[in-house]
Every structure is written in structure tokens, then in C-alpha cells.
Amino acid sequence: MSDVKDYKDLIIWQKGIDIAEKCYYLTKNYPKDEMYGMTQQIRRSAVSIPANIAEGYGRRYTGEYIRFLNIAQGSVNELETHLILSARVGLCTMMI
């Protein structure tokens, strides 16, 4: 029997929340002129990961859930791209 009662019990959702939180702290030190550029892109894609996992979990059919998990995976790839570029242009020196 599974101990998962809602999406907050999913380890992948918990890790997604951790990543989003770290991204907020990381981008807190970005230059103000990046507020509507890289900062916003990183935060948006990071939050999208656990949000899509949660939304998919609440869907009625497995196929819908899988679709939202695929969207979350796309957000992971997007976030990774933003973080790589941030490091390459000197906005940050570490990866999360």
C-alpha cells in the first residue's frame, strides 16, 4: 500500500520545491537590471516544476498526469539552460 495521500507526499514534488526555493535565493543576488530577464525566467521555470507535478496529480486520468509530468520535465530542461547561461555570463558562479 502506498503512503502517498496527496501530491505533497511525492518525493519528486518535494525536491521540486527545494529547487524552486534555492533558485529564489540564488537570483536574489542577481543585478536589478535582470529582474525582468534572467531572474524572472529562472524563477518561473523553477516554480513550474513542482506546480505541474501537483496539477497533474490532481487530474482524473493517468494520461493527463503523465502529460503534466512531461511539462514538468520540460521546465527542468528550461531551468537548466537558464542556469548554464547565467554561469556562462557571470551572473552566478555555482549551480544548484
**Residue (of 88, 13, 16) closest to 45 by Cα position:** 16
Report the C-alpha gap between 7 and 20 in whole angstroms.
16
* Set of cell numbers at residue 78: 528550461
CA pair distance 81, 1, nearest whole angstrom = 38
pLDDT-derived band at 95 (thresholds 50, 70, 90) equals low
pTM of the predicted model over 0.85: yes
Residue 40 pLDDT > 80? yes
State residue 3's pLDDT score: 86
Phi then psi for residue 82, to 5 deg, are: -65, -40
Amino acid 63: pLDDT:
97
| Domains located in the chain, CATH noted | 7-88 (1.20.1440.60)
The pLDDT of residue 4 is above 90: no
* pLDDT of the residue at 28: 93
Report the interhelical angle of 62-88 vs 38-57 (nearest 10°): 160
Query: Rounded to an integer, what distance in angstroms lies between the CA atom of residue 67 and that of residue 92?
Result: 32
Residue 94 has pLDDT above 70, yes or no: no
